Amino acid sequence: MNEPHDLIETIIMTEKATLLADSHNRYVFRVRPQATKPQIKRAIEQLFRKKVVAVNTANYSGKTRRQRTAAEGRTSDWKKAIVTLAEGEIIELA
């Protein structure tokens, strides 16, 4: 689980995340719930070859959802990481 590709699940490309990237040089990733801030920092630096200044994380609990047969299910818990890059560093997303 210490491989960078195992820790980082996907990049989040919402309107708010795009504004953060443009104005504050911050990028938002969906990561494994067990990932720590130092692990996330190393993974981003290895995958994108950029200097990471700070990592902020937020844990999200899964929600209960009803299914077609009236049985209740649950979405999975997940973690969001907001990564601040050094001045002048950018990640090309296209």
Residue 84, both tokens: 């601040």
Report the pLDDT value the prediction gives residue 89, as an integer from 0 to 100.
93
DSSP state of 91: -
In the chain, the number of structural domains is 1
Report the pLDDT value the prediction gives residue 69, as an integer from 0 to 100.
78
Report the pLDDT value the prediction gives residue 3, as an integer from 0 to 100.
87
CATH of the domain at 24: 3.30.70.330
Instruction: Strand 78-85: give its sheet, edge to edge.
Output: 8-11, 26-31, 78-85, 52-60
Report the pLDDT value the prediction gives residue 93, as an integer from 0 to 100.
76
In a domain, 63, yes or no: yes
Report the pLDDT value the prediction gives residue 67, as an integer from 0 to 100.
80
Q: Which residues of the chain have pLDDT under 50?
A: none
Would you say 77 and 31 are in contact if contact means Cβ atoms under 8 Å apart?
no
Q: Domain residues for 54?
A: 4-85
Average pLDDT, the chain: 93
